[in-house]
Amino acid sequence: MEDRLISIEGIAKRYPAAAGGQTTIFEDLWLRVGRGEFVCVIGHSGCGKTTVLNILAGLDAPSAGAVIVDGREISGPSLDRAVIFQGHALLPWKTVLGNVAYAVASRWPKASKAEIEARATRAIATVGLAGAEGKRPAELSGGMKQRVGIARALAIEPKILLMDEPFSALDALTRGTLQEEARRICRETGQTVYMITHDVDEAIYLADKIVLMTNGPGARIAEIVVNPLPADRRQGAIHHDPNYYALRNHLIDFLVSRSKTFRDDPPAGYDPRHPPVVRLDGGVAAPPLPSAAPKLRAVAT
């Protein structure tokens, strides 16, 4: 049986509309995330990805529904749930060590200064920043700042790591290295991750499951795609995997066409409480896609 850590249960978000009435950004979202799973969410801008992440963080509240973490409904922010933002959000007047130690101290307020610094130093080393402990954010490159953000999040040993497009502002080389490190660290520590990305290859490299959100307003979870690539996949070599193109085409076809038509024309039998789980590795077939299916099968076999 799945060891469920997060259960999103029918959440919706509505705002008052300018013309009166309400705008529903998304509704009836249901999703379960198992302990130790790495989930990536893909969907067009404005469908509500950041809002869902903020709800998971406890920084925003749903208009309907609930989120259960480890058996309890969440009601506000918690150090059990660490967020890595797109911007790094570091304290500019504190050093690298100071920024990480600050988070560690809030998590373990009774720890000694030496314990706090030892834990912070370890986290800084984990993200490859040993030697930069005394630098201030202004002295760091974008990639280094994002590493500090990761170190800070990991140092508090959160139950859930929430990441909102954490690598999107970085150059391609730095992004690749950080993706590799993030995957290694999360696998080694069994970290549960909920991450938003707009980069299909990033999702294919990092995720165990890829959650596809339809366009808003009224966005839904269209399906959950199980990543068929082997767990020991290597960054930069995923395109050699025989399942890679089937998966990539499936995700891109969704973004190009199905994300737009899904809401008005959902597949027969679609139940938002149980979004279809799609496997493209020759196991359970993908749902019927008039235009994309033949291409997928051709690549998958």
Ligand X SMILES: Nc1ncnc2c1ncn2[C@@H]1O[C@H](COP(=O)(O)OP(=O)(O)O)[C@@H](O)[C@H]1O
The contact set with Mg ion (CB under 5 A) reads 49-50
In the complex, the smallest distance separating the C-beta of residue 116 from ligand X, rounded to whole angstroms, is 34
CA separation, residue 68 to residues 1, 5, 65, 74, 279 (Å): 18, 8, 10, 6, 26
Q: Closest by alpha carbon to 55, among 45, 46, 68? A: 68
H or E element: which one contains 61? none
By a kind-dependent CB cut-off of 5 to 8 A, residue 174 interacts, out of Mg ion, ligand X, none, with none
Q: Does 56 bind ligand X (CB under 6 A)?
A: no
Return the number of other C-beta atoms located less than 10 Å from residue 193's C-beta: 22
User: Which residues between 30 and 49 bind ligand X (CB under 6 A)?
Assistant: 43, 45-49
Minimum distance from residue 46 beta carbon to ligand X (Å) = 4
Give min distance, CB of 121 to ligand X, in A. 34
Among ligand X, Mg ion, none, partner that 197 touches (CB below 5 to 8 angstroms by kind): none
Question: Minimal distance in Å, beta carbon 89 to ligand X?
Answer: 16
Nearer to ligand X, 178 or 213 (CB): 213
Looking at the Cβ atoms of 50 and 235, the one nearer to ligand X is: 50
Query: What, of ligand X, Mg ion, none, does residue 88 touch, CB below 5 to 8 Å by kind?
Result: none
Query: Alpha-carbon dihedral of residues 8, 23, 262, 203, nearest 10 degrees?
Result: -50
> Is the Cβ–Cβ distance between 244 and 229 less than 8 Å?
yes
| Residue 51 contacts ligand X per CB under 6 A | yes
β pairing state of 209-213 and 277-279: unpaired
Least distance in angstroms from the C-beta of 17 to ligand X: 9
Nearer to ligand X, 25 or 163 (CB): 25
Residue 149 interaction partner, one of ligand X, Mg ion, none, beta carbon < 5-8 Å per kind: none
- Partner whose footprint covers residue 182, from Mg ion, ligand X, none (CB < 5 to 8 Å by kind): none
How many residues bind to ligand X according to rule CB under 6 A?
10
Cβ distance to Mg ion smaller for residue 50 or 177: 50
If you compute the radius of gyration of the chain from its CA atoms, what whole number of angstroms results?
20
**From Mg ion, ligand X, none, interface partner of 148 (C-beta below 5 to 8 A by class):** none
Residues 50, 63, 78, 86: which binds ligand X (CB under 6 A)?
50
Site string for ligand X, 94-133 (x = CB under 6 A): ----------------------------------------
CB-based contacts of 57, cutoff 8 Å, min separation 6: 77, 81, 83, 162
204 contacts 236 by C-beta, under 8 angstroms = no
Q: Pick what 25 binds: ligand X, Mg ion, none; C-beta below 5 to 8 Å, kind-dependent.
A: ligand X
Under 8 Å between Cβ of 123 and 100: yes
| Contact between residue 55 and residue 11 where contact means Cβ atoms under 8 Å apart | yes
Q: How many CA atoms lie within 13 A of 281 on its CB side?
A: 9
How many angstroms separate the CA atoms of 83 and 86, rounded?
10
Chain positions contacting ligand X, by CB under 6 A: 15, 25, 43, 45-51
